[in-house]
């Protein structure tokens, strides 16, 4: 048997050449002979080739050229003629043709395109409002129910009043509320990808070396076991840690920080990646639609003549499960305690101001989504004003007391676990809507005030 050091050094050279350029005949003979003699060399070969294969699989675009023989001969002959198609076109055509071929493959085999993993990774525990689940194989489901098992996929909150809570098999909980899009997976290590919006989570201690990974466009967060929330925008992500500790990595430069309890960090290009203590809560808030459409839910319209900047409602049609007639909610919403804004806490004397306009007189629902101090979902509270209060085509201004607000009836089955009143809770977002008819509701300003601090 060759000396360890010698064969290992030789294997190093051979393996590198094998995957990058290929081996010449002498090198091939030598590779076989080293592997025949040394079990350690075979182990090294296996591990090295697995890493190479995993890199190809993880990073590379699939190569469809080996599907050539599956394709039609005539298509192939034109594709194979190098003068007919440049190489990059050939590759694209092959890919497209491959998809067609696979379509036939699936159709003729009469099988489902995807087999679900054997065990679900999580279960839906609570939900309400408009939600859409895209699961394994691209299956879209709008008729979600508490208790349903999940095998990995994407949950999307379609309106400001959406709410969804899931529990992983180990008891870790994840909640989205409002307009958010979150992909979950668990292949031995939990991974969440927040495409937009926000979510909060209460994560039980994860196995050593396998933290829950939370990805956004701009950051990676590694969570061992803690309570935290994440808020993602196009170019920045805010991590707020309520309990425990989370490691945050800014993807643009790989810089990393540990974020402790009661701290938060913003991962963005234009600011330093430094955790800061969570700001003290405030009791006042005012919308600033003139600053742009960012994070609002609705159609943002710039000021035009006498018309101030405003948000118009956007439609959401209910699935048949929730409404047999599949009617439409016309809704708009604004974030309050999200991103880098300090938490806004409701006082018993807080008043809600709304300025806007309706095209036709209509009942309007005014609501807010609330959180507990630890970031947990605390319900949606709402009040309804009759159509008589709103004149067609006329601007309106309403001032609402918190005593007018009540828990959204669609949350009645979880009322026991939710606060009875909104006092002392954090306002995540405010929203308003009309039901079924497009009343042309638009809002130019919303504010939360307290008489003493106004």
For 23, left (φ over 0), alpha (ψ -120 to 50), or beta?
Answer: beta
Closer Cβ to other proteins, 218 or 442, answer by number = 218
Which residues ranging from 34 to 53 are in contact with other proteins (CB under 8 A)? 35-36, 42-43, 45-53
Closer Cβ to other proteins, 67 or 435, answer by number = 67
Which residues ranging from 343 to 362 are in contact with other proteins (CB under 8 A)? none
Which of 2, 4, 24, 66 lies at the binding interface for other proteins (CB under 8 A)?
66
Which of 74, 83, 87, 109 lies at the binding interface for other proteins (CB under 8 A)?
109
Question: Does residue 111 interact with other proteins by CB under 8 A?
Answer: yes
Question: Does residue 98 interact with other proteins by CB under 8 A?
Answer: yes
Strands (E) in 77-218, as ranges, are 122-128, 131-134, 140-141, 149-150, 153-157, 163-168, 173-177, 181-186, 190-202, 212-215
Chain Cα centroid distance, residue 115: 24
Cα distance between residue 43 and residue 193, in whole Å: 35
Question: Does residue 76 interact with other proteins by CB under 8 A?
Answer: no
N-terminal to C-terminal alpha carbon distance within the chain: 86
CB of 159 to other proteins, least distance (A): 31
**In degrees, to the nearest 5, what angle opens at C-alpha 172 toward C-alphas 171 and 173?**
110
CB of 220 to other proteins, least distance (A): 6
Which DSSP state fits 410?
G
Q: How far is CA 289 from CA 186, 188, 441, in A?
A: 39, 44, 16
Any idea which residue has 């890493």 for tokens?
Answer: 51
Question: Does residue 253 interact with other proteins by CB under 8 A?
Answer: yes
Question: Does residue 99 interact with other proteins by CB under 8 A?
Answer: yes
Which of 240, 249, 309, 337 lies at the binding interface for other proteins (CB under 8 A)?
249
Question: Does residue 23 interact with other proteins by CB under 8 A?
Answer: yes
Which DSSP state fits 424?
T
Site string for other proteins, 205-244 (x = CB under 8 A): --xxxx--x------x------------------------
Site string for other proteins, 173-192 (x = CB under 8 A): --------------xxx---
> How many positions of this chain bind other proteins (CB under 8 A)?
71
Any idea which residue has 């094998």 for tokens?
Answer: 18
């Amino acid at each position: 048997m060759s000396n360890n050091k010698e064969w290992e050094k030789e294997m190093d050279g051979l393996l590198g050449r094998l995957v990058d350029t290929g081996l010449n005949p002498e090198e091939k003979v030598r590779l076989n002979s080293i592997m025949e003699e040394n079990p350690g060399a075979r182990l090294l070969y296996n591990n090295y080739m697995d890493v190479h294969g995993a890199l190809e699989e993880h990073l590379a675009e699939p190569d469809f050229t080996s599907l050539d023989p599956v394709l039609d001969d005539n298509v192939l002959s034109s594709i194979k003629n190098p003068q007919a198609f440049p190489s990059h076109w050939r590759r694209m055509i092959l890919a497209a043709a491959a998809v067609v071929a696979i379509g036939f493959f699936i159709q003729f085999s009469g099988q489902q395109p995807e087999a679900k993993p054997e065990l679900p990774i999580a279960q839906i525990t609570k939900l309400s409002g408009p939600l859409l689940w895209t699961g394994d194989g691209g299956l879209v489901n709008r008729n979600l129910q508490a208790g349903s098992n999940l095998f990995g996929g994407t949950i999307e909150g379609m309106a400001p009043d959406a709410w969804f809570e899931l529990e992983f098999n180990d008891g870790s909980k994840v909640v989205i509320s409002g307009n958010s899009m979150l992909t979950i997976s668990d292949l031995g290590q939990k991974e969440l990808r927040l495409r937009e919006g926000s979510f909060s989570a209460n994560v039980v201690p994860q196995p050593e070396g396998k933290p829950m990974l939370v990805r956004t466009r701009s950051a990676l967060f590694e969570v061992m076991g803690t309570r935290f929330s994440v808020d993602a925008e196009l170019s920045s992500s805010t991590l707020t840690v309520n309990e425990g500790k989370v490691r945050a990595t800014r993807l643009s430069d790989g810089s990393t920080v540990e974020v402790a309890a009661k701290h938060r960090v913003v991962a963005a290009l234009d600011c330093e990646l430094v955790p800061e203590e969570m700001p003290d809560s405030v009791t006042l808030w005012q919308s600033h639609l003139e600053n742009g459409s960012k994070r609002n839910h609705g159609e943002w319209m710039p000021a035009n003549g006498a018309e101030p900047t405003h948000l118009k409602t956007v439609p959401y049609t209910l699935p048949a499960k929730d409404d047999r007639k599949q009617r439409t909610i016309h809704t708009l919403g604004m974030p309050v305690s999200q991103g880098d804004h300090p938490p806004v806490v409701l006082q018993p004397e807080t008043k809600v101001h709304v300025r806007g306009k309706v095209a036709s007189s209509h009942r309007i629902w005014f609501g807010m989504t609330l959180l507990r101090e630890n970031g947990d979902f605390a319900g949606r509270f709402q009040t309804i004003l009759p159509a008589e209060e709103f004149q067609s085509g006329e601007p309106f201004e309403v001032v609402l007391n918190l005593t007018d607000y009540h828990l959204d009836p669609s949350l009645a089955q979880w009322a026991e676990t939710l606060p009875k009143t909104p006092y002392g809770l954090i306002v995540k977002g405010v929203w308003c809507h009309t039901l079924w008819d497009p009343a042309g509701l638009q809002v130019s300003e919303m504010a939360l005030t307290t008489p003493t601090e106004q």
